Amino acid sequence: MQKMLTGLAPERIDDIIAAIALYRPGPMDSIPRFVKCRHHPEEVTYETPLLEPILRSTYGCVVYQEQVMQIFRDVAGYSFGHADIVRRAMSKKKADVLLSEREAFVMGAKGHGVEQEVAEKLFSDMESFANYAFNKSHAAAYALISYRTAYLKQHYPSAYLSALMTSVLGNQTKIAEYMGECSARGIRTLPPDINESRIPFSTSGKDIRFGLLAIKNVGRQFLEQILSEREQNGKFSSFEDFISRMSAGDLNKRMVESLIKAGTFDRLGVYRSRLMAAHERLIQQASEKDKNNLAGQLDLFSMPNAAEQPSLFSYPNLPEFSVREKLMMEREAAGMFFSGEMMESFSKQLAVLHPTPISTLVGEDADLADRTRVSVAGMITSVTVKNTKKGERMAFFSLEDQFGEIECIAFPNLFAEYGRLIRSDNAVFATGTLSLREDEPPKLNLNRLEELIENDRYTEPDPTVSQVSPSEPKGNTRPAMPKRLYLRVPDRESEQYRKAVNLAEIFEGSFPIAYYDASVGQYDFSGRGIALSDYLVREFQALLGAENVILK
């Protein structure tokens, strides 16, 4: 569609209507002719002059069902009622009904001065087209929405994407996908804030503030009370102030805990760890306020100008959660990461591995074929182990990166090899083949799994230094417990590279392999695994040179 619109260069709403109607099986065969005639009207031709008033607006191409009906009326003399029978046959894809009209159409066309051969050809063209013909009224409605949303996305991207995320509240996958779009456009998604966030997603300058309703376990009614209190009496000055002012509402431990985990109170100056430890006690005190508020008694929540007083509540002296712990809380409460990127501590290795973003595999714009080989990296978020009919164990696990999540399947032979790595909260690099099924989200059939190494422990492999010691006895060319075979090739177009790939395919297995392209200085980790053996290492050495074959 993008290619078509680029070539078409639409100038009016009619062009967009036509593009929507054309881009479907059948009519799309006319796209090259439509685009060409749009820019060169002198090349428009008609089978008969009777077609000109019908097809002039679409440059001689039949695009809409309405045009087919009009051709039956003006060329073959059909009545409106008879032409509507043709329309119903087209819309319900009743080819037999349409075929029965051939003789009547040809006879009617001949009566209007159209040669039989031309009439036969015209009917055949419409017959193949009509199975997929779109009516103009529907295309016009879609075109209007498309034009308006495209305009908003271009000129008001923050407001548009904010509304878009609000429209999919509860669908964390879609929200993550749209957050990825925001990131690509330089729009930040700001974390939820008890004094800044609104119930839906909202704009904050050119950025977007995360909506409170997207936080799990927090009800709309309670959020409406928060917003009302904030608008009437100002922002909350502290966590205690929030508990005090909201105690009369639907305040409960579960909702407050979710707000804390999402980082909603982070800017009020108390560590999240301390809020988690103390919030239950504060809520309990607030709930007992009325019961114990005897005449003349003052407590934390009934002091005059409590919001202006220094906090009298004593929080436990706990250190703040680690970044990783905060990220895990944020994902639990909001399905997102706000304090950083979960994979940030593995950035050195990821810069070498170049994994494919998961959002590009599972999003609406994904355009990959079934069984495409891909490599992704992320955090394992859930694991389900099952037994096959043969009693063998296999696993289904979810792998999540910053903006997407995909289900991975480890069949028994792979689970036996990598089962120790398949555990919740483990960061891994997974290679496999996509499994695409109708009406199901894409899945990854695992071929290989590798545990990621944190930055402070990671050492980038040096492709110029062989890891095979020349002093080792012949026939023992592998160091102890190697993790990957690195092959240095001149470039991806070289004969050595092609032969190395062929050799790897012949000896396919599960041992990881990587190619180093010397011409651009980049690694490629997407190749098939090999069945490692001394013989195979020697074959690679003979092909590429011993200095270009590295086990590490």
List of domains in the chain:
2-138 (no CATH), 168-308 (1.10.150), 345-456 (2.40.50.140), 485-551 (no CATH)
**Could you identify the residue written with the tokens 């289904």?**
396
Give the sign of the dihedral formed by CA 329, CA 333, CA 338, CA 343. Answer: positive
Per-residue pLDDT, 505:
76
Sign of dihedral through CA atoms 418, 420, 425, 426? Answer: negative
Q: Which pair of structure tokens corresponds to residue 390?
A: 């043969």
Cβ-based neighbours of 299, under 8 Å, separated by 6 or more? 285, 289, 292, 293
Report the interhelical angle of 323-334 vs 253-261 (nearest 10°): 130
Q: What are phi and psi of 348, to 5 degrees?
A: -65, -50
Between vectors from CA 323 to CA 321 and to CA 328, what angle results, nearest 5°? 85
- Please state, in angstroms and rounded to a whole number, the distance separating the CA atoms of residues 155 and 148: 11
String of DSSP letters for 404-468: -EEEEEE-HHHHHHHGGG--TT-EEEEEEEEE--TTS--EEEEEEEEE---GGG-----TTS--S
Angle 154-159-162 (CA atoms, 0-180°, nearest 5)?
A: 115
- As to burial, measured by CB atoms within 10 angstroms (0-12 exposed, 13-18 middle, 19+ buried), residue 122 is buried
258, containing H or E segment = helix 253-261
The backbone region for 118, taken as left when phi is positive above 0, alpha when psi lies in -120 to 50, beta otherwise, is alpha
Amino acid 438 reads E
Give the Å distances, CA to CA, from 76 to 45, 196, 510: 20, 67, 67
- Do 512 and 428 meet the contact criterion of CB atoms below 8 Å apart? no
Spell out the residues 6+ positions from residue 303 whose beta carbon is closer than 8 angstroms to its own. 309
Burial status of residue 445 (CB atoms within 10 A of its CB: 0-12, 13-18, 19 or more)? middle
Q: From CA 63, how far away is CA 126, in angstroms rounded? A: 10
Cα(392)–Cα(385) distance, rounded to whole angstroms? 10
pLDDT for 208 equals 96
How many CB atoms within 10 Å of residue 454? 13
Q: How many C-beta atoms lie closer than 10 Å to residue 148's C-beta?
A: 11
pLDDT of residue 484: 83
Q: Which residues contact 97 (CB under 8 A, 6 or more apart)?
A: 85, 89
Nearest CA to 430 out of 380, 379, 377 is that of 377
Residue 159: both structure tokens together: 């407001």
The single-letter DSSP state of residue 548 is G
Q: pTM of the predicted model, to two decimals?
A: 0.64
Counting other chains too, the contacts that 26-29 makes at CB distance below 8 Å and 24 or more residues apart are 26/128, 26/129, 26/130, 26/131, 26/132, 26/133, 27/62, 27/63, 27/129, 27/132, 27/133, 27/134
Whole-angstrom Cα distance, residue 219 to residue 250? 9
CA count, 13 A, side-chain hemisphere, 310: 1
Which regions of 187-227 does DSSP assign to beta strands (E)? 189-190, 202-204, 207-209
Query: Which pLDDT score is estimated for 132?
Result: 67
Integer Cα distance of 250 and 101 in angstroms: 68
User: What is the pLDDT at residue 307?
Assistant: 45
DSSP state of 206: T
Cβ neighbours of residue 361 under 8 Å, at least 6 residues apart? Answer: 368, 374, 376, 404, 406, 434, 442, 444
Per-run averaged pLDDT (10 residues), the chain, 552 residues = 89 93 83 92 91 91 87 91 79 72 88 91 77 83 95 95 93 82 88 96 94 93 95 95 86 93 95 95 82 52 48 84 86 84 83 85 75 90 91 93 87 91 91 87 93 84 49 38 83 88 76 87 78 78 88 82
Q: Which residues pair with 446 in a beta bridge?
A: 432
Nearest CA-CA partner of 27 in 113, 104, 107, 135: 135
| 55, 34 Cβ separation under 8 angstroms | no
Please tell me what DSSP assigns to residue 320. Answer: P
Note the pLDDT of residue 75. 92
Element (H, E) at 393: strand 393-400
What is the spatial distance between Cα 23 and Cα 31, in angstroms, rounded to a whole number? Answer: 8
